[in-house]
Chain A
Amino acid sequence: MMVYTITKTLDVKKLNCPFPILKTKKAINDIEIGEYIEVLATDPGSVSDFQAWCNSTSHELVESSQENGIFKYIIKKTK
């Protein structure tokens, strides 16, 4: 597994669709292009939602994983 330098961590645990996405959209404004944001979520629907959001916005989903019911996404800001 690659190791990324995380600039910002966003905790959206317990939030339901579509709030993990909305909060991520907001939070990604706080980092610079080329930097990484880490998002922690519990919504199982977020797995496909984060993939879709990244496809749509062209930010890069570099890691999508799950551990003990917590979903972790690492996204590289591309624009």
Chain B
Amino acid sequence: MSEKKKRLAIIASQANITGAYPPLLLAITAAAMDYEVGIFFTFFGLNLLKKNNLNKIKITPAGETAMPMPIPQIIGVLPGMTGMATMMMKSWMKKANVAKLQELMDIAVESGVKLIACQMTMEVMKIKRKHLIDECVVGGAATFLEFASEADVNLYI
């Protein structure tokens, strides 16, 4: 078909569980809806592109006031609490039959989602190209903007 595809452009700037799912879920859904999709990973979002890292994505209970933890907020900063919150969150997601981040990333790659790692923040975060999965490309703000300027949906997550 010669008809122009719809396009989705996402900036992924977070790497806690609740920040990691939306960009990947939306990207693969959009790809299934015949959109052309690009995700620009910046700052902590770069963690989603690191090799063998998606299993290590966590959630911290400190500051996450909506997380129903049976403890006062202040306890959330103690050692071990992030691990506990992550375990709880993962078990809820498992019960709700939500796919793992790695599965979502595999589908994103398979369905041709364009993965762009932000060059500038890679330097800030001391992340080298070799730390990132082979399927991504490294680019700057102009790379993203050129892609986003033609997008029908633009999201910052």
Contact = CB atoms under 8 A, between A and B. Distances in A.
Contacts, number: 31
Nearest to A24: B32
Contacts of B138: none
A34 interface: no
Question: Which of A14, A18, A24, A57 gathers the greatest number of chain B CB atoms within 10 Å?
Answer: A18
B6 A22 contact: no
A68 B154 CA distance: 39
Given A56-B33, A57-B33, A19 B99 contact: yes
A47 to B, nearest CB: 16
Interface string A59-74: 0000000000000000
Contacts of B34: 56-57
B28 A16 contact: no
A53 B33 contact: yes
A47 B32 CA distance: 16
Interface string A11-53: 0001111110110110000000000000000000000000011
A25 B97 contact: no
A79 B1 contact: yes
A21 B96 contact: no
B98 interface: yes
Given A56-B34, A57-B34, A79-B1, A18 B28 contact: yes
> Which of B1, B28, B29, B97 has most chain A Cβ within 10 Å?
B29
Nearest to B103: A19
B107 interface: yes
Given A15-B97, A18-B32, 18 more contacts: A14-B97, A16-B98, A18-B28, A18-B29, A21-B29, A21-B33, A22-B28, A22-B29, A22-B32, A24-B32, A52-B33, A53-B32, A56-B6, A56-B33, A56-B34, A56-B35, A57-B34, A79-B1
